[in-house]
Amino acid sequence: MKTLTIRRPDDWHLHLRDGEVLSGVIEDTSRHFARAIIMPNLVPPVVTTADAAAYRERIMAAVPSGDRFQPLMTLYLTEGTDPQDVAAGKERGLITAVKLYPAGATTNSSSGVRNIDKAMPVLERMAEIGLPLCVHGEVTTAEVDIFDREAVFIETVLDPLRKRLPELKITMEHVTTKEGVDYIKNSSANLAGTITTHHLIINRNAILVGGIRPHYYCLPVAKREHHRLALRTAATSGDPRFFLGTDSAPHVDPLKECACGCAGIYTSPNTMSCLAHVFEEENALAQLEAFTSLSGPAWYGLPPNEERMTLVRRDEPLQFPKKRETGAGAITVFDPLFPLYWEVEA
Ligand code: DOR
Ligand code: ZN
């Protein structure tokens, strides 16, 4: 029997939502992950430290008793964000990062940043106090093809911002392209990237071949195969600048299965099984712990978890529920389209 014991993992990019969805999905994360960076794109968004403190309370109230889970809160950057409030949130230990959504880039991003100049005072303060900026790295200009939005963001927004404020620590979230991987690899400092589980597994064919498959639609949208291969190489390389952020993004089925479906893939329940499968395929099981449990804490200046997780490779495929039932409705769980054998030991 093959087993693998690693430090308990963390998820450095997670959507938990609120209310009935939060109550329904939280255990799929808290069962396996010790900590997660919680995305602030609620309606209305988590903009102030007070909003984040209240949201944190709601999350903690939903964590099943017996699970040890620490939500790491983020603020949603707007053009009106108060640098003083951000600094106070960090000082209190409440805020781990600030999130930049270009306005209109994705789900609930209409209050995002249109003109980065307006956010410079906050970004300068963050650089001073060592608070990282998490970026959704896609431009939203209508002329730019959706498959090119990440590469154009790097060239026209990220690189100029890094030159203007080299001291700012930036996490480029959910990297989906070879350009993104190369940009991070070639950077000298203060830049890291998260990679999702699903972008290691699917390319754009999953969304479009044989019919339109809304449960494989997310943003940034999955790209061509050579990009997926670049992501796999980066994730399994042991390079500490690449680590796990699942971007698990639950939407109830009616919001996905309709004429204008929401972006987001729900991977929390089977992420660790999927990742063990991918790392085994790449002959890189020895690097799984770096990706899920070591490089993220190092980047955010936190200690790695002391607890351990054991994964066991079963002989028979695992049976995961196809849906997570919540008080708000059912949410389809990511189907990697191959059988999974690696089980997290309870
Ligand atoms: O697919 C996505 N879903 N990408 C995002 O950036 C947002 C997320 C969501 O909130 O549903
Ligand atoms: Zn996200």
Domain boundaries, the chain: 3-344
CATH of domain 3-344: 3.20.20.140
State how far Cα 269 lies from the chain centre: 14
Tens digit of each residue's pLDDT (9 = 90 or more) over 293-308: 999 999 999 999 999 9
User: What is the sign, positive or negative, of the torsion defined by CA atoms of 326, 175, 198, 243?
Assistant: negative
Q: Specify the pLDDT at position 332.
A: 99
Give, for ligand 1, the residue of 11, 13, 14, 15 to mutate: max count of ligand atoms closer than 8 Å to Cβ. 15
Q: What is the pLDDT at residue 344?
A: 98
* C-beta separation of 103 from 109 below 8 A: yes
Condensed to tens digits (0 to 9), the pLDDT of residues 84-131 reads: 999 999 999 999 999 999 888 777 778 888 899 999 999 999 999 999
Note the pLDDT of residue 1: 67
- Ligand 1 binding pocket includes 219 (Cβ within 6 Å): yes
Q: What does DSSP assign to residue 87?
A: H
Taken in order 253, 259, 260, 265, the sign of the CA dihedral is positive
Mean pLDDT of the 222-236 span: 98
Whole-number Å distance between alpha carbons of 254 and 279: 33
**Is the preceding peptide bond at 250 cis, omega within 30 degrees of 0?**
no
pLDDT at residue 111, as a whole number: 80
The tokens for 13 are: 């990019």
Distance 17 CA to ligand 1 centre (A): 11
Place of tokens 């494989």: 216
The residue nearest atom 10 of ligand 1, judged by CA position, is 107
| Polymer length in residues for the chain | 346
Q: Where are the beta strands (DSSP E) in 213-315?
A: 242-244, 308-313
β-bridge pairing 242-244 and 191-195: parallel
| Predicted model pTM | 0.97
With tokens 């900026």, the residue in question is 133
Please tell me if the CB atom of residue 106 comes closer than 6 angstroms to any atom of ligand 1. Answer: yes
Chain mean position to CA 91:
24
* Average confidence (pLDDT) over 313-334: 98
Per-residue model confidence as pLDDT tens digits over 269-281: 999 999 999 999 9
